Amino acid sequence: MDWDGVGTFALFIASGGIGLGVIALRAYQAKLASKLEWARLERTPEVPHEIEEHIRELEEKIQRLTERVDFTEKLLGDGKS
């Protein structure tokens, strides 16, 4: 039996095992970080009142602009026919 390549083969197998171990640990770390981030997001309080009010104002402005566009389209459509 030739023992010259056995050490090289063992080193190759060991380094592959270490590499797979590092990959597995990083995957577990990412999974754990994701769970912790999700838990942090679940604990955050409700949206502040100021933000809700600002969103309502923006929705009202969009509604008014939509009505203006519809009115303008009707005027332009009537002028062409």
What is the C-alpha to C-alpha distance for residues 80 and 73, in angstroms, rounded to an integer? 11
Q: What is the pLDDT of residues 11-65, one digit of tens each?
A: 888 888 898 999 999 999 999 999 998 888 778 777 778 888 999 999 999 999 9
What is the C-alpha to C-alpha distance for residues 49 and 27, in angstroms, rounded to an integer? 39
pLDDT, residue 42, reads: 79
Provide long-range contacts, Cβ within 8 A and 24+ apart, for 76-80. Answer: none
Confidence (pTM) = 0.44
Residue 3 predicted with pLDDT over 80:
no
